[in-house]
Each structure stands twice: as structure tokens, then as C-alpha cells.
């Protein structure tokens, strides 16, 4: 079987380092591994509109921001088809048919939809499009026959629902669609990176994000202000590593080579340390004597090691926005070709392909002649 990857992001803001470790970094690795037959990464503007219907300008402005973040992170339009959801009308048609395969009560039980409805305070006024977005997401995935979907763990219920739709469709109409599997980050720190304030999730509304496109002075200011261990008052006090956001970020970003390259961070006026691994650094922090500032300086260097080259690539692409739109237009064209092929198979299986079915027409003409 072909190995086909698909994933996407809602364009409601610039992408932050939570997106990066949760999915974007992995996508770039998968892309460059050369092991996959097709890779689709898309900007889910239609899904973003399901709860931003009165704010189309916000969604539109963020489409280009997300596209720039993709290119900056290393997605390569030669290897990955990058497209915009709303430009693929086939997805709407698939969703329309899938709606008959899902019950209202099943949607009401989707845990992600449930939490999101609460978070957004919809109460009794849930937009139908928002309520049914798991169905449209199943269309996004199945239109491309994707079997590998790299996303965060909050998307598991969406994948489960998509698999149910595939099974139902295939059992009723025949084996047309492919069941997708989720691909989660391996490292638990990357599953859900907390905000800089230590809160469970990075979110724009909480103002606790480090964006991929933040300038270096902003990154430093955010790292400096990060939540650590509130019990670590004196440098000499023992510190906690678990639940300490600085260490969670190191778990997500730090590589062994960083200890050699950024050894200077641990040379101070009063004390100096040499560490060869994150475990050694953690041990020292737990034992006491290691100040937060030193660890933060190191984290900043570690983050910048990833962010600085991305910032430079972004600046380059920002110089030619028409070319970025042209890249997206081509991506949409390629994506549409694939989606319309699947749609034709779906229509065929559902027996709504009247004009392509010569046999149907001749059979019925015989039947009516012989009446």
C-alpha cells in the first residue's frame, strides 16, 4: 500500500513552538526521509471559519503567516503539496455524503468537540459547521487516501471518527476509502508543550506562546519571564524539574551536542559547571546550587539554534509574497486533482454517477422498451 501523509493547521494565528515540536518538526523529517509516496500539508481555513465566521480578515491574514511558517520550518513545495482547504470544493461534497454516515449523538460524544464547545462558550448556540467539523476533517483526510496523519494527541478523537466513517462507507458502498492512523510525537514533552507561564496549553488568548517568527529579543524576554519551580527561591535551594517549564522545553528541544556548543552559559562569576547531558543538568538543578538564570540562558541558546535559521528563511520568503501565493496555487491544483479522483470513486460507489454509467442507461432503456 502507498504511504500517504496528510495533516494541516487552522490559520488562526502564527505557528508557535508547540506546533513545531507537536507536529511541524516531524513533518519536515518525514518529508526529507524520502519514505513516503505523497505528502499533503494544508491550511484549514474553512475549518478556522467554523468558529470565526464574523472574522474572515483574521483567517485570511493568517493563511499567509502559516504558509510562511511552513516554508521557514523547511517544508519544501517540491516534496510536499501545500494547499488551502477552501480551494478544494471536492471536500465539501465528500462531507455532504459523509454526514449521512454519522449520528448527532456520536458527534456529541466527540471529546475534543465537547471541550472546544465549552472553551468557546457556545452554550446553546453552536454553529452547525463547528459541530460537524469532525466530518469535514474526515473528508480532508480521506480525499487524499491518507493513511498517516501526524497531529497532536487532541486530534485522536477526530481520527477515530474518521476511521468510523471509512469503515461505514466501505461496508455500505465497497472498499474505496482508506483508514487513517495517527502519528503522535515520540517524546512526551512534545505531546502538549505548556505555555511559558506553565499553563497546560500554549494559546494565543493566554499570551503564553513563543512564536516561530518571534525576533530573538522577544524570545529572550519570554524565556527570561518563564515559569520555573516556585519553590526554588535561593540558588542554593534544591529545585524541581518535573512541571518546571524550562526543563520541559529542554526535553523538547535540547540535543546532546548543545552542551558542548553552549558550554559558556554555565560559566558564571560565582560558579561554573560542566554538563554533558540533560540528565546531568537536571541532577544539578535538583541538588541545588544552580540558578534559574543560567538554565534560562542555555534554553534561549537551544531555542535560537532552531529558531534563528527559521527566522532567516522566513525573512527571505517574505521578500516575495507573490511567489508564495503562486506556490500555494500550484499546491491547490495538485491537491484538487487527487481529491477529484477520490470523489469520482465515491460517486461511483454510491451510484450517483448517472452520466458516466453507459450500462445503467442501456439497461434502463431495455427495461422500459420491454414494459
Closest by CA position to 336, among listed 133, 86, 96, 63: 86
The DSSP 8-state label assigned to residue 141 in this structure reads H
The piece of 1-9, 203-211, 261-269, 325-333 that touches ligand TRP (CB under 6 A) is 1-9
| CB 146 to ligand TRP: min, Å | 8
Q: Select from 6, 49, 184, 226 the one that contacts ligand TRP (CB under 6 A).
A: 6
Which residue lies nearer to ligand TRP by CB, 38 or 301? 38
The DSSP 8-state label assigned to residue 234 in this structure reads S
- 345 half-sphere exposure, CB direction, 13 A CA radius: 16
> What whole-number distance in Å separates Cα of residue 15 and Cα of residue 71?
12
Q: According to the binding rule CB under 6 A, does residue 62 interact with ligand TRP? A: no
Size of the site for ligand TRP (CB under 6 A): 13
CB 85 within 8 A of CB 44: yes
Which residue lies nearer to ligand TRP by CB, 122 or 227? 122
Residues 143 to 162 in contact with ligand TRP, rule: CB under 6 A = 149, 151, 155
Q: Select from 14, 28, 40, 47 the one that contacts ligand TRP (CB under 6 A).
A: 47
Which residue lies nearer to ligand TRP by CB, 6 or 71? 6
Q: According to the binding rule CB under 6 A, does residue 9 interact with ligand TRP? A: yes
- The CA-atom distances, in angstroms, between 220 and each of 165, 223, 226, 285, 307 are 46, 5, 10, 21, 12
Q: According to the binding rule CB under 6 A, does residue 134 interact with ligand TRP? A: no
Query: Which residues share a beta bridge with 5?
Result: 39, 148
Q: According to the binding rule CB under 6 A, does residue 10 interact with ligand TRP? A: yes
Q: Select from 15, 141, 226, 299 the one that contacts ligand TRP (CB under 6 A).
A: 141
Which residue lies nearer to ligand TRP by CB, 153 or 304? 153
Which residue lies nearer to ligand TRP by CB, 13 or 77? 13
Q: Select from 65, 69, 116, 140 the one that contacts ligand TRP (CB under 6 A).
A: 140
Which residue lies nearer to ligand TRP by CB, 8 or 194? 8
Put the strands of the sheet holding 148-150 in their side by side order. 81-84, 38-43, 4-9, 148-150, 181-183
| CB 265 to ligand TRP: min, Å | 34
The piece of 7-15, 192-200, 222-230, 320-328 that touches ligand TRP (CB under 6 A) is 7-15
- Torsion, CA 171, CA 172, CA 176, CA 180, rounded to 10: -50
Cell of 350: 454510491
Buried b (16+ CB within 10 A) or exposed e, 112-127: bbeebbeeeeeeeebe
The piece of 60-68, 137-145, 259-267, 271-279 that touches ligand TRP (CB under 6 A) is 137-145
Nearest residue to ligand TRP, by Cβ distance, number only: 44
CB 354 within 8 A of CB 347: no
Residue whose grid cell is 457556545: 122
Q: According to the binding rule CB under 6 A, does residue 90 interact with ligand TRP? A: no
Cell of 97: 455524503
Residue 147 CB burial class (10 angstroms; 0-12, 13-18, ≥19)? middle
Binding mask 341-370 for ligand TRP (x = CB under 6 A): ------------------------------
Provide the binding-site residues for ligand TRP, judged by CB under 6 A: 6-10, 44, 47, 137, 140-141, 149, 151, 155
Amino acid at each position: 500500500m502507498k504511504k500517504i501523509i496528510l495533516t494541516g493547521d487552522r490559520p488562526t494565528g502564527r505557528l508557535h513552538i508547540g506546533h513545531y515540536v507537536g507536529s511541524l518538526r516531524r513533518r519536515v523529517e518525514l518529508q526529507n526521509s524520502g519514505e513516503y509516496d505523497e505528502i499533503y500539508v494544508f491550511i484549514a481555513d474553512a475549518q478556522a471559519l467554523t468558529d470565526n465566521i464574523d472574522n474572515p480578515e483574521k483567517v485570511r491574514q493568517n493563511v499567509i503567516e502559516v504558509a510562511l511558517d511552513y516554508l521557514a520550518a523547511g517544508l519544501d513545495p517540491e516534496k510536499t503539496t501545500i494547499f488551502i482547504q477552501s480551494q478544494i470544493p471536492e471536500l465539501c461534497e465528500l462531507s455532504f455524503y459523509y454526514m449521512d454516515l454519522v449520528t448527532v449523538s456520536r458527534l456529541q460524544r466527540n471529546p475534543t468537540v465537547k471541550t472546544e464547545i465549552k472553551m468557546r462558550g457556545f452554550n446553546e448556540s453552536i454553529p452547525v459547521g463547528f459541530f460537524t467539523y469532525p466530518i469535514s476533517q474526515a473528508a480532508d483526510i480521506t480525499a487524499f487516501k491518507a493513511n498517516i496523519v501526524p497531529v497532536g494527541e487532541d486530534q485522536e478523537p477526530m481520527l477515530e471518527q474518521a476511521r468510523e466513517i471509512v469503515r461505514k462507507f466501505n461496508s455500505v458502498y465497497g472498499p474505496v476509502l482508506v483508514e487513517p492512523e495517527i502519528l503522535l510525537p515520540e517524546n512526551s514533552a512534545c505531546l502538549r508543550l505548556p505555555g511559558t507561564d506553565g499553563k497546560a496549553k500554549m494559546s494565543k488568548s493566554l499570551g503564553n506562546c513563543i512564536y516561530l517568527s518571534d525576533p530573538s529579543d522577544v524570545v529572550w524576554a519570554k524565556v527570561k519571564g518563564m515559569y520555573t519551580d516556585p519553590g526554588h527561591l535561593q540558588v542554593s535551594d534544591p529545585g524541581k524539574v518535573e512541571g518546571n517549564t524550562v526543563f520541559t522545553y529542554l526535553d523538547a528541544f535540547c540535543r546532546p551536542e548543545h552542551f558542548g556548543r553552549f558550554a559558556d552559559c554555565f560559566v558564571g562569576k560565582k560558579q561554573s559547571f560542566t554538563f554533558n547531558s540533560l540528565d546531568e543538568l537536571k541532577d544539578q538543578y535538583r541538588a541545588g546550587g544552580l540558578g534559574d538564570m543560567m538554565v534560562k540562558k542555555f534554553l534561549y541558546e537551544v531555542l535560537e539554534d532552531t529558531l534563528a535559521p527559521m527566522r532567516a528563511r522566513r525573512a527571505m520568503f517574505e521578500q516575495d509574497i507573490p511567489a508564495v501565493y503562486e506556490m500555494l496555487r500550484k499546491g491547490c491544483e495538485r491537491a484538487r486533482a487527487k481529491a477529484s479522483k477520490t470523489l469520482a470513486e465515491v460517486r461511483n460507489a454510491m451510484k450517483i454517477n448517472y452520466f458516466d454509467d453507459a450500462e445503467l442507461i442501456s439497461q434502463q432503456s431495455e427495461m422500459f422498451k420491454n414494459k
